[in-house]
């Protein structure tokens, strides 16, 4: 039978073990950070403001103002591109916290990406996608929603407020 006392470790062996442990731990931390998003991309990608400059997302920073037509370009075509959805005039970045998997290209709810989804969420309506008419129309005031539709919309707002970050507001053309 072999016991631990049979093994002799010199100073260089201990140094190698410590270095190897450090490399393995560093690789594990890096892997965990890169795979914490279902898409496998870092969760803290920077959004671009209307001038094309990187803008750190923070609730204390100035938010962007987007028209429907501008919002339509935020559908996450590339893996690190942000995905925005507007609800009742507030624009949210849904490309974080697992949202890319649902709202990104090929996702079950990609139909909502890059647009004002207020009416769609109020009715949980899947339409054919954004139209030119929708892009050119004024922001929907939603004043004809039934109490049930308003409750549905409020539930989505509550979800988005808890899960995603506000990045801007929707403005008319």
Identify whether residues 58 and 139 lie together within a single domain.
Answer: yes
Residue 20 lies in a domain: yes
Q: Which of 80-94, 98-112, 120-134, 147-161 has the lowest average pLDDT?
A: 120-134
Q: Which of 6-10, 38-42, 152-156, 161-165 has the lowest average pLDDT?
A: 38-42
**Dihedral sign for Cα atoms in the order 70, 73, 75, 79:** negative
Residue 2: predicted pLDDT: 54
Percent of the chain with pLDDT over 90: 55
Q: 96-137, pLDDT tens digit by residue?
A: 999 999 999 999 999 999 999 999 999 888 887 888 888 999
Identify whether residues 99 and 158 lie together within a single domain.
Answer: yes
Residue 66 lies in a domain: yes
Identify whether residues 21 and 99 lie together within a single domain.
Answer: no
Alpha-carbon separation of residue 128 from 22, 102, 120, 131, 139 (angstroms): 52, 17, 11, 8, 19
When pLDDT is cut at 50, 70 and 90, the band that residue 15 belongs to is: confident
When pLDDT is cut at 50, 70 and 90, the band that residue 85 belongs to is: very high
Residue 128: predicted pLDDT: 77
Alpha-carbon separation of residue 51 from 34, 109, 166 (angstroms): 29, 29, 18
User: Which residues, in sequence order, are bridge partners of residue 119?
Assistant: none
Identify whether residues 30 and 70 lie together within a single domain.
Answer: no
51 or 136, greater pLDDT: 136
CATH of the domain at 67: 3.10.120.10
Percent of the chain with pLDDT over 70: 68
Q: Structural domain of residue 119, as residue ranges?
A: 47-170
Identify whether residues 101 and 155 lie together within a single domain.
Answer: yes
Mean pLDDT of 46-67: 58
State yes or no: pLDDT of 64 exceeds 70.
Answer: yes
When pLDDT is cut at 50, 70 and 90, the band that residue 46 belongs to is: very low
Domain count, the chain: 2
CA angle 112, 117, 121 (to 5 degrees): 95
State yes or no: pLDDT of 28 exceeds 60.
Answer: no
């Amino acid at each position: 039978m072999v016991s631990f006392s049979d093994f002799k470790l010199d100073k260089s062996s201990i140094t190698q073990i410590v270095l190897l442990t450090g490399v393995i731990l560093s690789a594990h931390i890096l892997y965990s950070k890169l795979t914490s998003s279902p898409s496998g991309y870092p969760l803290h990608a920077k959004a671009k403001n209307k001038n094309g400059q990187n803008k750190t997302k923070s609730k204390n920073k100035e938010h962007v103002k987007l028209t429907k037509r501008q919002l339509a370009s935020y559908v996450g075509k590339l893996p690190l591109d942000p995905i925005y959805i507007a609800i009742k005039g507030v624009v949210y970045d849904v490309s974080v916290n697992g949202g890319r998997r649902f709202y990104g290209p090929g996702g079950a709810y990609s139909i909502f990406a890059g647009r004002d989804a207020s009416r769609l969420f109020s009715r949980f309506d899947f339409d054919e996608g954004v139209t030119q008419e929708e892009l050119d129309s004024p922001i929907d005031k939603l004043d004809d929603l039934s109490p049930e539709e308003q409750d549905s919309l409020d539930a989505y707002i509550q979800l988005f407020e808890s899960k995603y970050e506000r990045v801007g507001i929707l403005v008319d053309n």
